[in-house]
Amino acid sequence: MKAAVFREINKPMEVEEVTVDKPSGREVLVRTAAAGVCHSDMHFFNGTYPGQLPIVLGHESAGVVEQVGEDVTYVKPGDHVITCLSVFCGHCEYCLTGHMSLCQEPEVRRSAEDEPRLRKEAESLSQFANLGSFAEMMLVHEHSVVKVREDMPLDRAALIGCGVTTGVGAVIHTAAVEPGATVAVIGCGGVGLSCINGAALAGASRVIAVDMVASKLELARKFGATDVVDASSGDAVEQVREITSGGVHYSFEAIGLKVTAEQAFRMLRRGGTATVIGMIPPGDMVQLHGPDFLQEKTIQGSMMGSNRFRVDMPRFVDFYLQGKLHLDDMVSSRIKLENVTDALLALDSGEVARSVIVFDQ
């Protein structure tokens, strides 16, 4: 099969012919239909986060089951599935207490003694997030896929595999935004737009989108933003506090920067909660004003929207087909696999919500 192989930081990925093993045990072989190009991939491409090279990046994807291992009971060939990087074991403390997105059990991966899932001749290739969806096929554990209805377009279903679940989940699960609350979202990329959409679904009374790109702020209105703040035209915190007469109940940081995490905390009203979703670079320290804690303000992180993806994702599919999730507007472009490096680099411009690799182009 063809796969875009990442071999060196900040060097273009070449599409190579690689070998994918047959599924065994609880593994599932999925033919990739579509894969979103996400900022999380960029963090590894540019070296902000370390990775085990060579590797096939990509983790936001959907496809059709081709083959299954002998112990698989959940899916069968022909099923349409969305993948999720929150692969879960089902029996550790995190899974049993409803925090499947925090599961780190090694049994969902092949061990070093096993044949690699991916290889090029004698060279083993890693899979990003145990998926590696910048490839025509994915060999994954059955606990990393969820079945979805076949009338769901797979190029939009792919977005649910990461950005949508991360953003909407942060609102409804991690922060538990209640109807009537005020919300600010910093960053209007794929995850931020999903936060905005989730806040609208949750019944927030004011949803304030914060960004420095006018076109993305305009797009945010389609996703449910009631107000927009251009952070390039002045102090974003003061603008949000002015709109809400003192600050929001909930803020969400969807970029992954120290400064925006600090802004998310500062734009809270008393008793408010800031949720950091973005991947802040390792080593960066977030500084907070101590007296703010006497006002019962909270800052917290969110991993993949604290998801229960086999429950959440089919519901998100229903929301899309009912016109409640605005996935069509999130797709900036549909590209071929060989254009994936350009799509990653375009993320740094701030102009792109999501590029989607479509494999049958």
pLDDT tens by residue, 73-104: 999 999 999 999 999 999 999 999 999 999 99
The torsion angle over the Cα atoms of residues 168, 173, 174 and 176, rounded to 10 degrees, is: 100
Domain with CATH 3.40.50.720 in the chain: 176-301
Q: What digits encode the pLDDT tens for the residues 112-140?
A: 888 999 999 999 999 999 999 999 999 99
Domain with CATH 3.90.180.10 in the chain: 2-161+306-358
Count the Cβ atoms, other than its own, within 10 Å of residue 93.
Answer: 9
Return the pLDDT at 361: 57
CA distances from 298 to 101, 148, 199, 304 (A): 21, 36, 18, 19
Return the pLDDT at 264: 98
**Domain 176-301 is of which CATH architecture?**
3-Layer(aba) Sandwich (3.40)
Where the chain has pLDDT below 70, the residues are 351, 361
Structure tokens at 177: 């935004």
Q: In which element (H, E) is residue 339 found?
A: none
The span from the CA of 59 to the CA of 83, in Å, is 7
Would strands 182-186 and 206-211 be described as parallel, antiparallel, or unpaired? parallel
Cβ neighbors of 353 (< 8 A, separation 6 or more) are: 188, 189, 190, 193, 216, 219, 329, 330, 331, 332
Biggest CA–CA distance in the chain, Å, is 63
- Type of residue at 197: N
Q: What is the pTM of this model?
A: 0.94
Count the Cβ atoms, other than its own, within 10 Å of residue 360.
Answer: 9
At the topology level, CATH places domain 2-161+306-358 in Quinone Oxidoreductase; Chain A, domain 1 (3.90.180)
Q: What digits encode the pLDDT tens for the residues 208-227?
A: 999 999 999 999 999 999 99
